[in-house]
Amino acid sequence: MTLVTMADVTAATTRIAPYVRRTPLLRLPGERLWIKPENRQHTRSFKVRGAVNAVARLAERGVGHVIAQSSGNHAQAVAYAAAEHGVRATVVLPDTAPELKVTAARRLGAEVVIVPPALREHTCLALADRFAATVVGSDDFDVIAGHGSAGIEIGRDLPDAGTILVPVCNGGLLAGIAVAAKAVNPAIKVIGVEPELAADGADSFRAGRRTAWPVRETYRTRADGLRAPILGALAWEHIQRYVDDMVTVSEDRIDLAADLLEHKLGERAEPSGAVATAAYLAHGATLPAGPVVAVLSGGNVAGALAGGA
């Protein structure tokens, strides 16, 4: 299996630059914690980085229709990327997806198909066959490379960072950031974070093999963007090679972190986006010395400003 390299991430960073926002690092007052606010992206989520890179490359090859299945943020990102590159987009969402994410995908021009959570992947593949559309998976090679651009930015903005905390769904963001961060500073610790109620990735990391959780269990968490029942196969290969640890956080810690981000920094975080900050609150005393960066991966919550900060 071919892995993403720093050269791939560097090329992706250049390719997506016209379409994404270079987010800053924000210091949490009184702490050694810095926040990477990906809620400021055009679709209020980091997902735009990987989706734009993947769709741009597909458009260059003449692909005219892309399809994706998602809890919401990847769908919006694919819809945005497709619109920017003149490509048709279809997205499959679960019937539990927040209405604001469904509405946003439609507003960006995608055809939206709603199904029960357990049918997302099957429906996506069936529709891809029917429409002769190309699937954009959330841990595809080009998606991981695009996500790595966030790791490059962290390395440039805070070269002495000791730890990066990254939310984990199917692992694409963690994989991309780990590739870039380790290339810039091999000594940095890259740690994935999951809700305790959807900890298939942490279980996989401990067992040394991909471990699936039943959908009925992962859907207990309020972090709707982190409910994937198993890590992506390609993301897993990167995680095994580059990631130092995976930790979990409680629902209460996630809520506390979201409140802290809003009240201390004025940043709106959806539960999925707050888990990395929650990990600092729960595990900060045991993290390696030096500055800690927590990726605020998304802010698609009611009351958030459309289009990002």
Catalytic annotation, residues: 47, 297
| Helices vs strands, H then E, count in the chain | 12, 10
Nearest CA to 131 among 147, 103, 111? 111
Distance, CA of 66 to CA of 109 (rounded, Å): 12
Distance, CA of 148 to CA of 64 (rounded, Å): 26
Q: Which two tokens stand for residue 71?
A: 């809890």
Distance, CA of 140 to CA of 66 (rounded, Å): 13
Distance, CA of 193 to CA of 188 (rounded, Å): 16
Helices (H), 46-171: 47-60, 73-84, 99-107, 120-131, 141-157
Sheet of 189-195: strand order equals: 26-27, 33-37, 292-296, 163-167, 189-195, 245-249
Length of the chain: 309
